[in-house]
């Protein structure tokens, strides 16, 4: 088991919402990739408001693997919220983010970690889209490219794939761009835009994106939210006020669980869970 007391070399953050069909397979893809890499690591699984078997599944994974933490929230709070809470407990010098839906190639994570030795941020640029089981891949790809074009036109920033669900950051970058304030899918763009504005070196690695056709992204509502965030960032760019200067949402404390036998973690419990397995 690749785990150690204190700070890990790598933290992998996996936010999830109703991912019972993919979370276990995705977890093991990440776990096996990192186990073969040979550096101490931890995996942080987060879910908020899931109504399927996701909560019990990630608890079971954490019981089996001591370098795994889980965070639970009673209500659906959003991807950005989950990532922000995961960062509060992450110990890695390199922090990797990967969606838990099986659409991103976990086997590429060691390559991202290697490249982070020369750069501050590495983004998985979705250069090839492959359908897993149908779905409107063309529409999603078009929306993704349109969003990237808007970012470049409005903010004058030319980065590849602002909304990629696979990224790696040095710890010092995360420390520099906090506090993060997005609660939804716009968190991906906020992190990259803040890192770029701070002058960190950002590069990309081409990846194959396996579109599965049942994304949690609401094409209408989430697109509107992301557009509003862009306009907010544009206003910030023009007025030089803090990026996303509205206060971060007041958030409940998570139920953080680690089943590592060699170390006991503080428990932060939400009102929806009264029993904590140790």
Catalytic residues: 188
CA 189 to chain CA centroid, Å, is 11
CA distance 172 to 157: 21
Say if strands 41-48 and 68-73 run parallel, antiparallel, or are unpaired.
Answer: parallel
Q: Identify the H or E element spanning 257.
A: strand 255-258
CA distance 237 to 78: 25
CA distance 29 to 18: 19
SS3 content of the chain, % helix, strand, coil (to 5): 35, 20, 45
Q: How many helices (H) and strands (E) does the chain have?
A: 8, 8
Q: 258 to each of 72, 80, 150, how far by Cα in Å?
A: 12, 22, 41
Report whether 50 contacts 18 (CB < 8 A): yes
CA distance 35 to 30: 9
| Phi/psi at 271 (5° precision) | -75, -5
């Amino acid at each position: 088991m690749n785990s150690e007391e204190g700070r890990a070399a790598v933290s992998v953050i996996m936010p999830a919402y109703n991912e019972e069909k993919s979370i276990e397979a995705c977890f093991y893809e990440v776990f096996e990739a990192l186990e073969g890499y040979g550096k101490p690591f931890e995996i942080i699984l987060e879910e908020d408001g899931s109504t399927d078997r996701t909560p019990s599944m990630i608890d079971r994974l954490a019981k089996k693997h001591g370098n795994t933490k889980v965070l639970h929230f009673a209500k659906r709070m959003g991807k950005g919220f989950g990532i922000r809470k995961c960062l509060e407990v992450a110990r890695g010098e390199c922090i990797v983010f990967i969606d838990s839906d099986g659409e991103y190639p976990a086997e590429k994570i060691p390559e991202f970690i290697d490249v982070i030795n020369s750069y501050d941020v590495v983004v998985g640029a979705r250069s090839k889209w492959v359908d897993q089981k149908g779905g409107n891949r063309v529409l999603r790809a078009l929306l993704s490219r349109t969003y990237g074009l808007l970012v470049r036109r409005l903010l004058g920033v030319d980065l590849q794939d602002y909304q990629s669900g696979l990224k790696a950051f040095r710890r010092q970058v995360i420390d520099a761009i906090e506090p993060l304030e997005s609660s939804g899918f716009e968190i991906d763009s906020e992190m990259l835009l803040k890192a770029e504005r701070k002058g960190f070196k950002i590069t990309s690695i081409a990846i194959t994106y396996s579109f599965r056709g049942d994304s949690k992204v609401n094409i209408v509502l989430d697109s509107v939210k992301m557009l509003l965030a862009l306009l907010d960032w544009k206003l910030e760019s023009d007025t030089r006020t803090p990026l996303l200067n509205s206060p971060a949402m007041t958030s409940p404390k998570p139920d953080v669980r680690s089943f590592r036998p060699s170390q006991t973690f503080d428990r932060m419990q939400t009102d929806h869970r009264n029993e904590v397995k140790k």
